[in-house]
């Protein structure tokens, strides 16, 4: 059965090192819910834990393998996984990074986290550290990381992750788009004050709880009154709102209307017009760049997400 999965992964163009790691880890050892053995090595999502209150899944193996491939996961690396679940993916990655490497995985739900810890102990997997908590904060004690890989849909790449990543390190992350409710996965590389990169493919993960899943609420608390300054007509405004979401991490929603919440002003996004209250230089400069790039959607742009500096885009992929 495992051999079949190996060949499925090879058909996806997955390297030997990563595909072989799936041969070494028994997926059934991470499923609290019992499945017929023929199911366990299918290339599908399986429910790993469900007590009626708390729920976790074991992600689709080919998607996990692609994430590892894009991350350039290799021997000796230190990787932080966000959304540990019962630990299957972390265990597979532990085989890819080998004894000289380390996998740190963080899981939000205590019950699921304890199961992951027990699974590692039972299977004698020593180079995985399972931490219980909100992945929003990363795991600073064991930083810096070569790779941060999320197996849960998150609202943003928080500054904590950025700080815990090595320069040149990679982030693979499915992001919950607030307007379209899509969940595209992105690959970013840390370069100085930026995460640079872009779109890879569509996914459907569990949406994160805790601070990784409440960005709109957190930003809503920052809303303040500013005087109306001007209205700008914008073609394909919904496409621009998604860029603002990804690049500023400052979107909120009130009564179904999206707003950008800046430190000097607020922007209200209506059907084909944005209304600026106070000042929003970040948004005006992004709009200018986006016009220069021909109003393309995020899939066709390079994103430069700034941390404590302004974000920008470039047109050529």
Ligand X SMILES: C[S@@+](CC[C@H](N)C(=O)[O-])C[C@H]1O[C@@H](n2cnc3c(N)ncnc32)[C@H](O)[C@@H]1O
Using the rule CB under 6 A, is 117 a contact of ligand X? no
| Active-site residue list | 59
Contacts of 110 (CB under 8 A, 6+ apart): 132
**Residue (136 or 162) nearer to ligand X, CB:** 136
Q: Is 138 in the site for ligand X (CB under 6 A)?
A: no
Go through 2-37 and write b for each residue having 16 or more CB atoms within 10 A of its CB, e for each that does not: eeebbebbeeeebbeebbebbeebebeebbeeebee
H helices of 12-60, in order, are 16-24, 37-40
Q: Least CB distance from residue 74 to ligand X, whole Å?
A: 19
Residue 85 binds to ligand X (criterion: CB under 6 A): yes
The residue range among 104-112, 182-190, 238-246, 307-315 that interacts with ligand X, by the rule CB under 6 A, is: 104-112
3-class state of residue 305 by DSSP: strand
Question: Cα–Cα distance between 171 and 307 in angstroms, integer?
Answer: 14
155 binds ligand X (CB under 6 A): no
Q: Which residues contact 228 (CB under 8 A, 6 or more apart)?
A: 275, 276, 277
> 66, 71, 82, 173: which one contacts ligand X (CB under 6 A)?
82
CA 197/CA 183 separation, integer angstroms: 16
Do 155 and 251 contact (CB within 8 A), yes or no?
no
User: From the list 9, 18, 41, 59, which residue makes contact with ligand X (rule: CB under 6 A)?
Assistant: 59
Question: In the set 5, 56, 80, 128, which binds ligand X (CB under 6 A)?
Answer: 56
The size of the interface with ligand X (CB under 6 A), counted in residues, is 28
Among 26, 144, 210, 278, binds ligand X (CB under 6 A): 210
- Looking at the Cβ atoms of 136 and 145, the one nearer to ligand X is 136
Nearest distance, CB of residue 302 and ligand X, angstroms: 28
Per CB under 6 A, contacts with ligand X among 163-202 are none
Q: What's the DSSP call for residue 48?
A: E
* Closer residue to ligand X, CB minimum distance, 148 or 152: 152
In this complex, which beta carbon is closest to ligand X, that of residue 68 or of residue 283? Answer: 68
Task: Output the six-digit token pair for 215.
Answer: 């960005």
Whether 154 contacts 173, CB under 8 Å: yes
Rounded (10°) CA dihedral 189, 81, 307, 177? 90
Confirm or reject binding of residue 106 to ligand X (CB under 6 A): yes
Residues that bind ligand X (CB under 6 A): 48, 56-59, 82-86, 88-89, 106-109, 112, 134-136, 151-152, 205-206, 208-210, 212
């Amino acid at each position: 059965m495992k051999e079949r999965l190996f060949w499925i992964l090879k058909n996806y163009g997955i390297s030997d090192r990563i595909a072989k790691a799936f041969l070494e880890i028994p997926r059934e050892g991470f499923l609290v819910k019992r499945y017929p053995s023929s199911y366990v090595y299918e290339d599908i999502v399986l429910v790993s834990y469900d007590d009626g209150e708390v729920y976790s899944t074991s992600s689709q193996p080919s998607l996990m393998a692609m994430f590892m491939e894009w991350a350039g996961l290799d021997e000796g690396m230190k990787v932080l996984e966000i959304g540990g679940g019962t630990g299957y993916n972390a265990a597979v990655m532990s085989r890819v990074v080998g004894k000289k490497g380390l996998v740190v995985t963080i899981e939000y739900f205590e019950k699921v986290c304890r199961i992951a810890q027990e699974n590692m102990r039972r299977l004698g997997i020593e180079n995985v550290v399972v931490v219980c908590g909100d992945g929003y904060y990363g795991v600073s004690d064991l930083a810096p990381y070569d790779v941060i890989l999320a197996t849960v849909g998150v609202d943003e790449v928080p500054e904590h992750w950025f700080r815990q990543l090595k320069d040149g390190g990679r982030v693979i992350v499915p992001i919950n788009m607030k307007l379209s409710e899509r969940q595209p996965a992105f690959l970013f590389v840390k370069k100085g004050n930026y995460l640079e990169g872009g779109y890879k493919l569509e996914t459907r993960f569990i949406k994160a709880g805790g601070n990784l899943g409440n960005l709109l609420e957190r930003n809503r608390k920052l809303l303040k009154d500013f005087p109306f300054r001007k209205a700008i007509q914008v073609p394909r405004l919904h496409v621009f709102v998604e860029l603002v979401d990804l690049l500023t991490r400052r979107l909120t929603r009130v009564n179904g209307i999206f707003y950008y919440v800046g430190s000097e002003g607020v922007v209200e996004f209506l059907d084909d017009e944005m209304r600026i209250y106070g000042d929003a230089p970040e948004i005006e400069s992004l709009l200018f760049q986006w016009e220069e790039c021909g109003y393309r959607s995020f899939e066709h742009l390079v994103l430069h997400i700034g941390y404590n500096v302004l974000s920008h885009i470039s047109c050529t992929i």
